[in-house]
């Protein structure tokens, strides 16, 4: 038996994943994941960090995410397999490479349902104060009560049940919720703009200059891309890849969902940032001493607070209701995604094989169970929403950073392979995408990145335990020397740059001198790692075997339901 056969090609699951998602279903899965709790807080946190200049943060982040998404838009139609973010590194670097990136992807994905449920219940205290309690006199730190914990577990269980009965049911429910979320965002933007420009109850265009357009300097525009929840608010575009094995006509639907979801939400987010900036009353800015101290007292969310100040009680109640619906829908989606990531790790043989088994509805049910259990553990008290967002952003973007490298490798090994969607410009877009990932991770800061590095170390401990105590017949060759040539240096250099230039040792988040030098430093790191990654790949014959397995997996059965797919 060859190494690859031992690694990948075991008996296929009895039930296959089913291609039930149409273009709108896949697009709305991405949009529904993008629009979660991020939009409810993003404009507020971005304004507090960068002031009115935060509108550029949304635009820059969108461009960077689109660069990364374009790489997956080429990879996705070539290999329309679920859990692609984890599976693609496996094709060219083997098990150690895919595990290194897959573990942090899985942890980040599994954390989102718990975070979103906690956020939804925190907002729900407006109507159900018994679910959350304050842990300090000011009420700034809040945790779930015992009853709130029970409600949260029930919500996580509901997500699992909906997912258990197939991606078709999941998408039908999600499509309805996405229309609601898009409608609420559009309503908030329109009402805020009309009220701010037409009355004296809210702010005015002078908000853009009264306390400085960029009060913390232009460096803050980049810092808040990672720390204000801006990149977090775009990360849902990945669902077009994670569910690639469950969509019909992936050659068309995957690029459409990836790029379309980011562009649509970028337009909405930038308009929302403008509307928020205009809507803040001058009295609030004066009391807060400008944008850096921006705060709203006795509120359950900054957008709802603005609506209440403007006498728009009806809009405030819509926002309170949406503050439960939007996070809950995102939690539902990420339950789907986290189970597909563990499914992919099982397919890669980086985790127990039973994680890759499917029920009769074509759903990896054991992966759902594991995701549910991890979600319960993650319901324990955590830091603030903003710090959790930073961790999820950095870990997810790190896993995304492998996509451009995989694309660069496959272009060199298989230049003539048919590509339904082909990016122009050779290495330009893949390199810029990888460089963008490194910069987004740096902007999160050392406090966040140190936690990520600890998580990576924990992942390697788990890998060692799996190697020592797992079944030998299920343990694939790691190809450690191939993968570690670039992965370990990447982690080390990423940590070193973050520690030196964002911990306060040689520089801090808003240090105007060192901050822009880091652009050049990270450029050098990106060039080195990019070069190492494309040179240190598996032998071509092993990559051929992995690709063959991926192609066989992509030949999945369609649902035998009238109509064949959903929109």
Q: What is the 3-state secondary structure (H, E, C) of 548-560?
A: HHHHHHHCCCECC
**494 or 126: which leads in pLDDT:** 494
Residue 274 pLDDT level (bands cut at 50, 70, 90):
very high
Task: Say if 80 falls within a structural domain.
Answer: yes
Answer whether residue 158 shows pLDDT above 80: yes
Question: Among candidates 533, 503, 532, which has minimal Cα distance to 518?
Answer: 503
Q: Whole domain around residue 436: which residue ranges? A: 3-178+225-262+331-554
pLDDT tens readout for residues 359-410:
776 677 778 888 888 777 767 645 445 556 777 888 889 988 999 999 999 9
Task: Report the domain count for the chain.
Answer: 1
Task: Say if 288 falls within a structural domain.
Answer: no
- Using left for φ > 0, alpha for ψ between -120 and 50, and beta otherwise, residue 412 falls in alpha
Task: Say if 278 falls within a structural domain.
Answer: no
For the segment 191-219, the average pLDDT, to the nearest whole number, is 83
Residue 562 pLDDT level (bands cut at 50, 70, 90):
very low
For the segment 151-165, the average pLDDT, to the nearest whole number, is 82
pTM surpassing 0.75?
Answer: yes
Task: Say if 197 falls within a structural domain.
Answer: no
Q: Report strand pairing: 132-134 vs 142-144.
A: antiparallel
**38 or 241: which leads in pLDDT:** 38
- Alpha carbon distance 478, 54 (integer Å): 44
Q: Give the highest mean pLDDT range of 131-145, 443-457, 464-478.
A: 443-457
Task: Say if 98 falls within a structural domain.
Answer: yes
- The predicted pLDDT at position 297 comes to 66
Question: Among candidates 279, 222, 123, which has minimal Cα distance to 436?
Answer: 222
pLDDT tens readout for residues 406-442:
999 999 999 888 887 888 888 999 999 999 999 999 9
What mean pLDDT is reported for the chain? 79
pLDDT tens readout for residues 6-15:
444 444 444 4
Helices 512-535 & 402-413 angle (0-180, nearest 10): 40
Residue 322 pLDDT level (bands cut at 50, 70, 90):
confident
Answer whether residue 45 shows pLDDT above 70: yes
Task: Say if 309 falls within a structural domain.
Answer: no
Residue 555 pLDDT level (bands cut at 50, 70, 90):
low
- The predicted pLDDT at position 9 comes to 41
Report the percentage of the chain scoring pLDDT > 90. 21
Phi, psi for 28 (deg, rounded to 5): -70, -25
- The predicted pLDDT at position 12 comes to 41
Task: Say if 185 falls within a structural domain.
Answer: no
Answer whether residue 474 shows pLDDT above 90: no
Answer whether residue 5 shows pLDDT above 50: no
Task: Say if 208 falls within a structural domain.
Answer: no
């Amino acid at each position: 038996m060859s190494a690859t056969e031992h690694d990948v090609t075991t008996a296929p699951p009895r039930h296959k994943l089913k291609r039930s998602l149409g273009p709108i279903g896949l697009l709305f899965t991405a949009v529904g994941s993008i629009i979660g709790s991020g939009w409810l807080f993003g404009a507020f946190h971005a304004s507090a960090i960068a002031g009115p200049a935060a509108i550029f943060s949304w635009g820059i982040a969108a461009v960077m995410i689109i660069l990364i998404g374009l790489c997956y838009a080429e990879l996705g139609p070539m290999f329309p397999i679920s859990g692609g973010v984890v599976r693609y590194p496996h094709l060219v670097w083997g098990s150690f490479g895919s595990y290194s990136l897959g573990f942090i992807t899985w942890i980040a994905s599994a954390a989102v349902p718990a975070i979103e449920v906690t956020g939804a219940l925190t907002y729900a205290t407006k109507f159900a104060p018994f679910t959350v309690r304050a842990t300090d006199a000011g009420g700034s730190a809040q945790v779930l009560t015992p009853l709130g914990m029970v409600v949260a577990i029930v919500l996580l269980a509901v997500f699992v049940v909906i997912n258990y009965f197939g991606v078709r049911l999941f998408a039908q429910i999600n499509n309805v919720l996405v229309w609601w979320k898009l409608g609420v965002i559009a309503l908030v933007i329109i009402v805020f703009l009309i009220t701010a420009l037409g009355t004296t109850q809210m702010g005015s265009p002078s908000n853009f200059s009264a306390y400085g357009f960029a009060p913390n300097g232009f460096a803050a525009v980049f810092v808040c891309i990672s720390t204000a929840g801006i990149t977090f608010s775009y990360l849902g575009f990945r669902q077009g890849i994670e569910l690639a094995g469950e969509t019909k006509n992936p050659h068309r639907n995957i690029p459409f969902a990836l790029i379309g979801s980011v562009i649509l939400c970028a337009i909405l987010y930038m308009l929302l940032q403008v509307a928020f900036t205009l809507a803040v009353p001058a009295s609030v800015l004066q009391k807060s001493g400008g944008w850096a101290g921006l705060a709203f007292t006795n509120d359950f969310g900054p957008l709802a607070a603005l609506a209440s100040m403007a006498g728009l009680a009806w809009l405030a109640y819509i926002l309170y209701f949406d503050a439960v619906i939007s996070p809950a829908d995102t939690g539902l989606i990420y339950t789907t995604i986290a189970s597909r990531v563990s499914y992919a790790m099982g397919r890669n043989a980086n985790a127990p094989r039973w994680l890759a088994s499917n029920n009769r509805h074509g759903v990896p049910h054991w992966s759902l169970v594991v995701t549910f259990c991890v979600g319960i553990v993650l319901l324990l008290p955590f830091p603030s929403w903003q710090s959790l967002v930073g961790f999820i952003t950095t870990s997810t973007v790190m896993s995304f950073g492998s996509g451009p490298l995989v694309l660069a490798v496959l272009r060199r090994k298989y230049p003539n392979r048919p590509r339904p969607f082909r990016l122009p410009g050779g290495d330009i877009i893949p390199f810029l995408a990888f460089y963008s990932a490194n910069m987004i991770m740096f902007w999160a800061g050392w406090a966040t990145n140190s936690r990520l590095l600890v998580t990576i170390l924990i992942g390697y401990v788990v890998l060692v335990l799996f190697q020592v105590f797992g079944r030998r017949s299920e343990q694939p060759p790691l190809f450690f020397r191939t993968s570690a040539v670039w992965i370990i240096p990447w982690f080390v250099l990423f940590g070193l740059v973050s520690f030196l230039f964002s911990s306060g040792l040689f520089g801090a988040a808003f240090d105007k001198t060192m901050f822009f030098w880091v652009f050049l430093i990270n450029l050098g790191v990106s060039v080195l790692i990019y070069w190492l990654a494309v040179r240190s790949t598996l032998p071509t014959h092993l990559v051929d075997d992995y690709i063959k397995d991926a192609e066989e997996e992509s030949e999945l059965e369609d649902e035998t339901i009238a109509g064949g797919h959903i929109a």
